Structure 1
Amino acid sequence: MLGVLRGLAFATLALPAYAERIDATLPAGVEQALKSNKLGADTLSVVMLPLNGEGAATLVNADVSVNPASTMKLVTTYAALELLGPNHQWKTEFFTDGTLKDGVLQGNLYLKGGGDPKLNMEKLWLLLRDLRANGVVQVKGDLVLDRSHFIQPDLPAFDDDGGDQNRPFLVEPDSLLVNLKALRFVTRNDGGKVSVAVEPPLDRVRIDNRVQALPAAKCPGWPDLHYNPIADSQGVTVVITGKLHAGCNGQTYLALLDHPDYAAGTVRSLWKELGGSITGGDRVGSVPSDARLLAHALSPDLTEIIRDINKYSNNTMARQLFLSLGAAHRLPGDADDAQAAQRVIRQWLASKGIAAPNLVMENGSGLSRQERITAREMAAMLQAAWRSPYAAEFISSMPLAAMDGTMRKRLRETPVAGNAHIKTGTLKDVRAIAGYSRDAQGNSWAVVAILNHPQPWGAAAILDEVLVSLSSQQGGSQTARR
């Protein structure tokens, strides 16, 4: 009991007057789920805090420092809503240091990134259309990429399981992040002939198609296809092997090029489709102070960005947002924008009366072995967000249980379906949920449940049981225990 309640003096979870009772035991269903999966109660931290109505707050292992996995994105996105504003946008711009006459640009074309987390193919295409509409057809100079917006931290590459480092969820942030640096490979067997297409089609990505065509049959959910990238001085060759039945197709996403190669290749590919040309080479550099603006594009509002981050747990976009917070509040003493973001988030929490001595933020996405928080600290932040002017935007950014995002397949045919906005978190030895849910009376609760264990088998079912137990709870019916 002392371990459960330790830290009440410094913890900032302020219970409403009608919820000053504390339950220091897990719901019976959760205890049984832990026992069934042979996990001890000390592996699970739980805080359930009533936000309106009656009920006893549940605090179990609430002050244990744990790895929250992707639930850390809630800290980053809520901080961004208040520190940047819900209508914050990022800017991407084309400049030139040359002259334009009769469609010919005599000079270099500069593409300056502003850290946009969602500069996708469609947005870049529209930006290039604007460039074309402004009279540019031929560029006689170089394509110069300005990636100076962020001061990047020197962080080790995340390698949780020793798997393929080309997986898109591992893409690192960049001032000029284009299309999340993703390549989509689509393999089809049309009438006995196998074809492979890659989108976007980049000169530095070549296909070596070795897929065996099979007769028509029922298409499997996961076709027998394997993608082996081989890098060389000219780019990368993707050797595709396996088998594919007639009438079937398969697709995968890979991140194979570095940020400059991907950005430059995509610009050139789309510009060529629009009838333009660039005769010079590609290089990284800064926009000259006397350069002239040719075209610019704005990102969607922050409200839309955080929806993508939280609904689908997008690590790269979360890291972009974290660095954007740092860049917007950078001070001369900050070594990089990650350090600046950590500082400003701590100051922001302190301004709300939230002391978070256990909070450790490395990249703001939860894709980290270093990041830490306690369930009490996370719940205190959720409680503050509930009172925020931007509560609606924040809550609606989270997956809706049994309906969308990373919760779309969970808790179907339970009372929780449609009644909880929950952010999930998953690492090799972490399973977590955090967000808002309702009890049997329709009252709202802040809920945090984080399980850390080397073998978290069955953890998703255990965390789901936390929400199921809460959904069946009658307000005010618990027995208070201190």
Structure 2
Amino acid sequence: MSKFTKNLFASSLLFSNIAFAQIDVQPLTQILPQGASIGFIAENINQNKIIADHNGQTFMLPASTQKVFTALAAKLALGDEFRFETSLQTQGKVQNNQLDGDLIVKFTGDPDLTTGQLYGLFATLKKQGVNQINGNLILDTSVFASHDRGSGWIWNDLTMCFNSPPAAVNLDNNCFYVNLDANKSVGEFVQFNVPTQYPIQVFGQVRVVGAEEAPYCQLDAVVHDNNRYQIKGCIARQTKPFGLSFAVQDTDAYAAAIVQRQLRQAGIQFSGQVQQPHQPQQGTVLAQHLSKPLPELIKKMMKKSDNQIADSLFRTIAYHTFKRPASFQLGSLALKRILSTQAKIKFGHSIIADGSGLSRHNLVDPNTMLQALNYIARNEDKLHLMDSFPVAGVDGTISGRGSLINPPLIKNVLAKTGSLKGVYNLAGFMTNARGERIAFVQFINGYSTGELENKTKRAPLVQFESKLYNALYAD
């Protein structure tokens, strides 16, 4: 049993139980690469006892373990019956096969909305006999305000699909792909082929190079207005075409173009203007699409670490809490208010910048995250959140995690991962050898093995986690 420490004493007070830590994490940290920082805390839920605490009150980047906060806050604020709604509305009248008035397309941040589902709304309108719209097309995206990116998101990741803006209008995850044909002679330029369903432009001059120059090549995407993308750089010759995915940058222009195209495809004439007012619009509902219910969205968010679902929920929680268009800053206020008042989580000086964990501004200590896990475990009969956590060796982001795929850990560890460059986090639960439930939080930041190959750079992490969680199981 390790010595009684000040950090352990403080952690114990938070859970109204002064206890001796039984697992000494310090010796195991020597396995990690030099320079790595580790914060770890674990609690035996059955005994209400902290059994390990190493830097449990040190602020670190939570990365995607942040989604644990988002999932819990969404359950408490929105409820299991919540669904995102996308609808067609009007203040006018449908008569003589015409809509006399404006057509309102109301988006509320559905992160799973597809172009096919959106088209279904216009097909429904067509079935109601509408062949022509005598008015304007109003895109209502007023549910969210300010930037569609969180503060602290890395600028050179913004064109990546995992960084797609979680805007009020999300179509096919606000992600598109472009086919590149680099089967050219050295010195020639790559050909870009954009699928016709995407209202975007991709251009550039990417040169095909020989084997000597290829290791120094890099492709860069430069974003221009109205969803125009310029690709620069060079590439080695590729015998087969391949695709590159990009995040939509101007979601409003993208949605406007798709809506007008789908109206034409549905055989509905429209010659008015496209407007996007800042104030919410209300009218008679002509067609409606509802997302999957909240529990299914949360399960996808947690299992696949879906950033768009997380940040759409993050701002939606704020919208429902404050009854006003929600920014990321308002999302932070709402999440802290809900979790501090309803789950009694003490955030202290923690910084919550988004709901996904993408932001490098987030700062949370392991003990604060443990409070959320503790609340989930003790209220699981009402929350039903534990089933949403990835299961070691089974599904989600820890299905193949090398440290957890052997007995007794496989199928026994339920944990949300958190990964950024240099960050390897876990937050979740396991059952020990005595059948008792353990909640744990692992924050590893600053992990680097220098220039080691990808196949070997995680070896210290696998060894550290394997020893730690086997010790946790045996305790």
Superposition pairs of residues 313-324 of structure 1, within 5 angstroms: 313-324=305-316
1:316 deviation in Å? 2.5
After alignment, is 335-344 or 423-432 more displaced? 335-344
* Structure 2 residue matching 1:373: 3-state secondary structure: coil
- Corresponding residue to 2:197 among 191, 198, 201: 201
1:180 partnered with 2:173? yes
1:264-311 Cα distance to aligned partner (Å, 9 max, x none): 122233333333343233221267867332111111111111122222
DSSP-derived class of the 1:262 partner: helix
In the superposition, relative to structure 1, how do residues 225 and 280 fare at CA in structure 2: closer, same or farther (>3 Å)? farther
After superposition, where does 1:296-307 map in structure 2 within 5 Å?
Answer: 296-307=288-299
**Are 1:111 and 2:109 counterparts?**
no
How far off its partner does 1:324 sit? Answer: 0.9
2:244 alignment partner in structure 1: 252
Deviation string for 1:342-373 (max 9, x for gaps)?
24533533443432314321222211222222
What's the offset of the Cα at 1:325? 0.9
> 1:50·1:443 contact (CA, 8 Å) conserved in 2?
yes
1:354 and 2:354 are equivalent in the alignment: no
CA distance in 1, matches of 2:125, 2:341: 45
SS at match of 1:22: coil
CA distance in 1, matches of 2:396, 2:58: 28
In structure 2, the residue matched to 1:70 is 64
Who is 2:356 aligned against? Answer: 365
1:227: how far off?
7.1
Alpha-carbon distance between aligned partners in 2 of 1:155 and 1:474, rounded to the nearest angstrom: 38
Residue in structure 2 matched with residue 123 of structure 1 by the alignment? 117
Please give the alpha-carbon distance, in whole angstroms, between the structure 2 residues aligned to 1:136 and 1:243: 53
Question: Residue 427 of structure 1 aligns with which residue?
Answer: 420
Taking the aligned partners of 1:200 and 1:467, their CA distance within structure 2 comes to: 47
Contact 2:140/2:280 (<8 A) preserved: no
Matches within 5 A, 1:286-435: 291-330=283-322, 338-339=329-330, 341-343=332-334, 345-389=336-380, 393-411=384-402, 413-415=405-407, 416-435=409-428
| Selected match of 1:88 from 79, 82, 98 | 82
Cα distance in 2 for residues equivalent to 1:125 and 1:442:
51
Shift of residue 80, structure 1, vs aligned partner: 0.9
Deviation for aligned residue 1:410:
1.2
**SS of match in other structure, 1:472:** helix
Query: 1:360·1:372 contact (CA, 8 Å) conserved in 2?
Result: yes
In 2: Cα distance, 1:228 partner to 1:340 partner: 30
Q: Quick one: distance in 2 between partners of 1:66 and 1:456?
A: 19
- SS of residue matched to 1:364: coil
Query: What is the rounded CA distance, in whole Å, between the counterparts of 2:280 and 2:322 in structure 1?
Result: 22
Matches of 1:155 and 1:210, distance apart in 2: 29
Q: Which residue in 1 is equivalent to 2:211? A: none
C-alpha distance in structure 1 between counterparts of 2:9 and 2:95, whole Å: 72
What residue number does 1:468 align with? Answer: 466
Structure 2: any 5+ residue segments left out of the alignment?
A: 184-189, 209-216, 451-455
Change beyond 3 A, Cα 1:206–1:27: closer
Q: Which range moved further: 380-389 or 265-274?
A: 265-274
In the alignment, the residues of structure 2 paired with residue 378 and residue 7 of structure 1 have an alpha-carbon distance, to the nearest angstrom, of 15
Deviates most, 82-91 or 92-101: 92-101
Q: Which one-letter code corresponds to 1:5 in the other structure?
A: L
State the partner residue of 1:215. none
Note if contact 2:39-2:444 (Cα within 8 Å) is conserved in structure 1.
yes
Amino acid at match of 1:355: K
Does the 8 A contact of 1:329 with 1:341 survive in 2?
no
Q: What is the one-letter code of the residue matched to 2:132?
A: Q
* Unaligned runs of at least 5 residues, structure 1: 213-223
2:39 corresponds to: 45
Give the % identical residues: 23
2:7/2:56 contact within 8 Å kept: yes
Residue 449 (structure 1) shift: 0.5
TM-superposed deviation, 1:338 = 3.5
Aligned length, in residue pairs: 455
Whether the aligned pair in 1 keeps the contact of 2:73 and 2:338 (CA below 8 Å) is no
Q: Under a length normalisation based on structure 1, what TM-score does the superposition of the two structures give?
A: 0.80
Contact 1:399 1:406 in 2 (8 A): yes
Task: Give distance in 2, aligned partners of 1:335 and 1:271.
Answer: 29
Q: 2-side partners of 1:387 and 1:200: how far apart?
A: 51
Q: Tell me the residue number matched to 1:4.
A: 7
Q: Distance in 1 between matches of 2:268 and 2:137?
A: 13
Quick check: 2:393–2:400 contact (8 Å CA) kept in 1?
A: yes
Q: Which amino acid aligns with 2:7?
A: V
CA distance in 2, matches of 1:444, 1:419: 10
C-alpha displacement of 1:424: 1.2
Q: Distance in 1 between matches of 2:256 and 2:191?
A: 26
CA RMSD of aligned residues (A): 3.9
CA distance in 2, matches of 1:391, 1:447: 21
Q: Is the 8 A contact 1:67 1:452 kept in 2?
A: yes
Contact 1:99 1:107 in 2 (8 A): yes
Residue 67 of structure 1, CA deviation: 1.9
Secondary structure of the corresponding residue to residue 10 of structure 2: coil
Question: After superposition, what is the alpha-carbon deviation per residue over 1:73-109, rounded to whole angstroms, capped at 9, x for unaligned?
Answer: 1011111112211221111111124343443334322
In structure 2, the residue corresponding to 1:409 is in which secondary structure? coil
TM-score (norm. length: structure 2) = 0.81
Match of 1:33 among 31, 53, 66: 31
Q: Distance in 2 between matches of 1:152 and 1:230?
A: 20
CA gap 1:210/1:46 in 2 versus in 1, 3 angstroms: closer
- The answer (yes or no) to whether the contact 2:35–2:447 under 8 Å persists in 1 is no
Q: Secondary structure at the match of 2:14?
A: coil
